[in-house]
Structure 1
C-alpha cells in the first residue's frame, strides 16, 4: 500500500498576501481558491513539478501563522534555484552545507545529494528549506 503525502497546511494571517507570495514569487500553481463564507477559505497551491501541494486559508488549522519551520522543497541545482528566488524578490539565504565543524557557507564541495541547502520565509515567517538532490552524477 502506498502512503503518499499530498497536502501540507501552512498557517497564514493574510490569505491574499500569502497567495501572491507563493504564486508570484515562488511560482507555485494555483489549483483551488474556494470560499464558503467569511469563516472558511481554502487555497491549494502546488510547486512546479511537485506531487505535493500546500494549502493556505481561513478556518483550516489551529496552528499559529509563522510557526512552521523546515518544510523542504527539493531542487536539482541549488545555485540556480537561489538565482530564481532572488530574481523574484524573495529574501533567501546563501547556499550552505554542513561539516563536522558545523554549518559552512556555499554548496557542498562534492555537490552530493542531500548536502546543500538554502532557506527563506514566507510573509508570516513560516520557514522553508530548499535542498539539492540530483546534481551529483553516479
Structure 2
C-alpha cells in the first residue's frame, strides 16, 4: 500500500534512554562534566524517576532514571555527538575531568575500509575525525567532527 502518508512520513529521534546504575552520579557527570542542560528531574515515588538532559544545540535529549528501562547499565554503544571543532570540545571535556580517548581519523579517507590513523583528518573533512568517551557506567559516546570549515 503506497499512500502519501506512508511514503512521506516525517520522523525525528527526540530521546535516547541510557541504562545506568546510579542516577545521581550519572546526572552529575552529564551536567557538570559534559555540559548538557538539565531539562527534567521527576520522581513521583521511589520506584520511578526520569531525568532528562540535552546536549547544547541538540534536538535530541537523553533520559536516565529508575523504572524506565530494563537494559543492563552501561550497555549502550556508539551514540554520535557531532561537533564543529573536535579538538576544542575534546580539550574542554578533558579540562572538566572527562576521560576521553585520543583523536583519530578515517584512513584511507577516499576508500575507507574501517581503518584509522592518529590525529585530526589533515584537511578537516566532515565526518572524518573522532574521539570517544564513556559515562560512569560505560555507555559510550563518539564525538565526530562536522562543519569545521563553516564556523
TM-score category of the 2 structures, normalised to the smaller one: over 0.9
The CA deviation at 1:41 is 0.2
Q: State how 1:16-35 maps to structure 2 within 5 Å.
A: 16-35=24-43
- Normalised by the length of structure 1, the TM-score is 0.96
1:109-133, Cα deviation, whole Å (9 max, x unpaired): 1200000000000000111000001
1:10 aligns with 2:23: no
The CA deviation at 1:76 is 0.2
Name which of 101, 117, 122 aligns with 2:130: 117
1:87-125, Cα deviation, whole Å (9 max, x unpaired): 100000111012148221101112000000000000001
Q: State how 1:66-85 maps to structure 2 within 5 Å.
A: 66-85=74-93
1:131 aligns with 2:144: yes
Between structures 1 and 2, the one with greater helix share: 2
The CA deviation at 1:43 is 0.2
Q: Return the index of the structure with the highest Cα Rg.
A: 2
Q: Classify the secondary structure of the residue corresponding to 1:93.
A: coil
Question: What is the total number of aligned residue pairs between the two structures?
Answer: 137
Q: Which runs of 4+ in 1 moved over 6 A?
A: none
- Normalised by the length of structure 2, the TM-score is 0.88
Q: Which runs of 5+ in 1 are unaligned?
A: none
1:38 is aligned to 46
The CA deviation at 1:136 is 3.3
What's the C-alpha RMSD, in Å, of the aligned pairs? 1.1
Name which of 87, 91, 96 aligns with 1:88: 96
